C-alpha cells in the first residue's frame, strides 16, 4: 500500500472525503439569520407574555381568542406552578437559542460540533414544550392564547428546520469520528 508519511493513502483519502462532505453540511449564514430572526420573534412574544404574567401589562393583546381567554391561559394553575413565569423561561430559552444559532463559523458542525448539538437540544426542547403547551391550552385550560400559539409555531418551526438540516447529523458524525471534539 502506498504511504504518505505515517498515514496510508486510504486514510488520507477518507479524511479529505469527510472534509468535503462536511463543508456543505452547515446552515448557511442566511439560514442561520432566518432561524435567529424567528427565535427573536419568539423572544419578543415571550417577553410580552411574561410582562403580563408579572403584572406589567394588565390585558394581553389577542385578536383571535380575546384578552380574557389569554388571561386564563397565562394565569392558569399550570403556568403558576413554577417559581418564575413560564413565559420568562421561554424568553431565556429563545435568547439561548439565538446565541447558539449565531455562534460558530461557517463549518461549525466540523469545528464546534458540541455547539451544534447544544443548539439542537435547545431547539428540540422548545419545540416539544410548544407542542405540550398547545395541548395544555386545548385539553386542560380549555382556553386559547394567540401569542402563545405564535410562540409554539416559532418553536416547532425551528425544531423542524434543525431536524431536517444536514448540520445536526454532520455534527454527530464529527463527534463520533474525532473522539468527542471537533477539529481545531
pLDDT digits (tens, 9 = 90+) for 24-52: 457 888 899 999 999 999 999 999 999 99
Kindly state the percentage of the chain with pLDDT values over 90.
Answer: 70
Task: Give the ranges where the chain is alpha helix by DSSP (H).
Answer: 9-23, 29-53, 67-74, 86-102, 108-111, 113-136, 146-164, 167-177
* Phi, psi of 107, deg, nearest 5: -115, 40
pTM of the model: 0.82
Mind listing the pLDDT tens digit for each residue in 148-158? 999 999 999 99
How many CB atoms are closer than 10 A to CB 33?
13
Cα 172 to Cα 110: distance, rounded to the nearest angstrom: 9
- Parse the chain into domains and list their residue ranges: 26-177
Look at residue 23 in the predicted model and tell me its pLDDT: 46
For Cα atoms 160, 166, 169, give the angle at the middle one, nearest 5 degrees: 95
Average pLDDT, the chain: 87
Grid cell digits, residue 173: 458524525
Cα 70 to Cα 103: distance, rounded to the nearest angstrom: 35
CATH code for residues 26-177 = 1.20.1440.130
Amino acid at each position: 500500500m502506498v504511504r504518505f508519511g505515517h498515514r496510508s493513502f486510504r486514510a488520507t483519502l477518507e479524511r479529505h472525503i469527510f472534509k468535503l462532505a462536511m463543508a456543505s453540511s452547515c446552515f448557511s449564514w442566511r439560514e442561520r439569520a432566518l432561524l435567529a430572526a424567528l427565535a427573536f420573534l419568539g423572544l419578543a412574544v415571550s417577553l410580552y407574555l411574561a410582562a403580563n404574567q408579572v403584572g406589567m401589562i394588565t390585558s394581553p393583546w389577542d385578536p383571535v381568542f380575546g384578552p380574557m381567554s389569554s388571561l386564563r391561559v397565562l394565569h392558569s394553575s399550570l403556568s403558576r406552578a413554577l417559581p418564575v413565569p413560564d413565559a420568562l423561561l421561554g424568553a431565556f430559552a429563545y435568547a439561548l437559542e439565538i446565541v447558539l444559532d449565531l455562534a460558530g463559523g461557517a463549518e461549525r458542525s466540523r469545528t464546534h460540533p458540541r455547539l451544534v448539538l447544544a443548539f439542537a437540544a435547545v431547539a428540540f426542547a422548545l419545540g416539544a414544550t410548544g407542542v405540550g403547551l398547545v395541548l395544555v391550552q386545548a385539553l386542560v385550560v380549555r382556553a386559547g392564547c394567540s401569542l402563545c400559539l405564535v410562540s409554539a409555531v416559532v418553536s416547532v418551526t425551528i425544531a423542524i428546520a434543525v431536524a431536517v438540516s444536514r448540520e445536526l447529523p454532520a455534527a454527530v458524525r464529527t463527534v463520533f469520528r474525532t473522539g468527542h471534539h471537533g477539529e481545531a
